[in-house]
A and B are shown apart, each in its own frame.
Chain A
């Protein structure tokens, strides 16, 4: 099992969700996050003049998938979240040691 953490543009959530659904991946956790990468901040307007906000709002989508599905899922996210402009986000992948379903006590691959 692997965990995919994708930090994406807020407006791209629907596209990412659809592309994962098409692969049969329904389970995901979505969090509103703020952060910065190469895009740095954004300049907003005050009553007069402007001020900079360093952190931009993004969404973090977390998906746990079987090892075999992982590469396809990453590609699906890459394709659906891309605009080609700076600020499209990042994807991180990490191994998952164990998984448990709280309701039944099931463990391992059966949980996802």
Chain B
């Protein structure tokens, strides 16, 4: 047990916790005035629901003793056997309880990320049912495959430092499937949908960036040189992508605050899987590429007419895929002996192939599994609010609250 490592993990838990309200504000500022509460609620409520289910059973499914490389068993249900001592399997220098909670924050934010695709029309009750089903049937297995002791992708050699596969690809492809079942907002592509508050978007992006240091550097699971390396890679990617997006928007017309905020998040998402495997300067390259690719992915989405409202797929899905594949190019065993050399450092194409398998298998599983879950919910309780509820806005119809007071 190391006091320094424990201190850093405890701080990282707090940093990552703050990312979920960050996502809430990031998304909440981008929706119309009548949907702000609903959008904040979709995210903030996950701190409650997922935070509770995580300690009850989801940690055990994700990180419990392996069953066939697919899922953990129920040994740790109700935190049985999760003690103040290190686990012996994961993060061996910090309390097992700290590792468990650190992972819990990842589960919470991953579910929250998906909501950006379905804002302004999904029924809150349906979203709650979806969140529980998705955590259990999609998140827990994927987390186990990639990070769980005995998980098949971990044994196969696919690398995911902090959640490019588990969080971003998983959330992006799931969001896409959920939108395809749910359908577009009324008036999509015809009515202007003005963001309620771009300053809120910036505050949200700032909290995300801040929390990402815990997300990525915390994933070193210790207060180490590797944590510093991951932190520098992370900041460089966010900075490079924010700058690149700003220039892209400027080239089109004017530099926008929304563009800088979006670019930062795209870069941070893309560097996540490689943060602790690549030389830090490569974070900047990943950021530049991520901004360009995600920018054009959004344009493509508009052309396809898919109302992934806040671009969960274009930012997190595409950014995640890009970053996971970049690990196959830029990973260096000199940076992190736990990793392997990518193409650029003499490792050949082997790692890139493994990263591709990780991307395709999790992408397909997340998309297919979510599509089935969404279909079942739609056929039973229904996914979508009534037409009039959507027109009035989800704040009033789902929550009986409004974000900004009016007369009286």
Within 8 A of A (CB), among B250-289: 252-254, 256, 258-259, 262
Interface hub of B192, B252, B259, B262 (most chain A Cβ within 10 A):
B192
Whether B307 is near chain A, meaning CB under 8 Å from some CB there, is no
Total interface residues on B, CB under 8 Å, equals: 16
Within 8 A of A (CB), among B233-255: 249, 252-254
Within 8 A of B (CB), among A9-65: 44-54
Bound-state CA distance A7–B249 (Å) is: 33
Give A residues with C-beta under 8 Å from B.
Answer: 44-54
Chain A contacts for B252, CB-based, 8 A: 45, 48-49
- Assess A51 versus B258: contact at CB under 8 Å? Given A45-B249, A45-B253: no
- Across the interface, do B256 and A49 meet the contact criterion of CB distance under 8 Å? no
Query: Which chain B residue has the least Cβ–Cβ distance from A41?
Result: B192
Segment with Cβ contacts to A, from B64-72, B172-180, B207-215, B295-303: B295-303
Bound-state CA distance A53–B295 (Å) is: 23
Bound-state CA distance A49–B298 (Å) is: 9
- Across the interface, do A45 and B256 meet the contact criterion of CB distance under 8 Å? yes
Whether B149 is near chain A, meaning CB under 8 Å from some CB there, is no
How far does the Cβ of B64 sit from chain A's closest Cβ, in whole Å?
Answer: 40
- Assess A51 versus B194: contact at CB under 8 Å? Given A45-B249, A45-B256: yes
- Across the interface, do B194 and A49 meet the contact criterion of CB distance under 8 Å? no
- Across the interface, do B311 and A47 meet the contact criterion of CB distance under 8 Å? yes
Whether B193 is near chain A, meaning CB under 8 Å from some CB there, is yes
- Across the interface, do A47 and B192 meet the contact criterion of CB distance under 8 Å? no
- Across the interface, do A47 and B262 meet the contact criterion of CB distance under 8 Å? yes
- Across the interface, do B192 and A48 meet the contact criterion of CB distance under 8 Å? no
- Identify which of A44, A47, A50 contacts B259 (C-beta below 8 A): A47
- Across the interface, do A52 and B192 meet the contact criterion of CB distance under 8 Å? yes
Chain B contacts for A47, CB-based, 8 A: 256, 258-259, 262, 298, 311
- Across the interface, do A49 and B302 meet the contact criterion of CB distance under 8 Å? yes
How far does the Cβ of A89 sit from chain B's closest Cβ, in whole Å?
Answer: 22
Chain A contacts for B253, CB-based, 8 A: 45, 50
How far does the Cβ of A59 sit from chain B's closest Cβ, in whole Å?
Answer: 18
Sample of 11 more A-B contacts, CB < 8 Å, known A47-B311, A51-B193: A45-B249, A45-B254, A45-B256, A45-B258, A46-B258, A47-B259, A47-B262, A48-B298, A48-B299, A53-B194, A54-B192
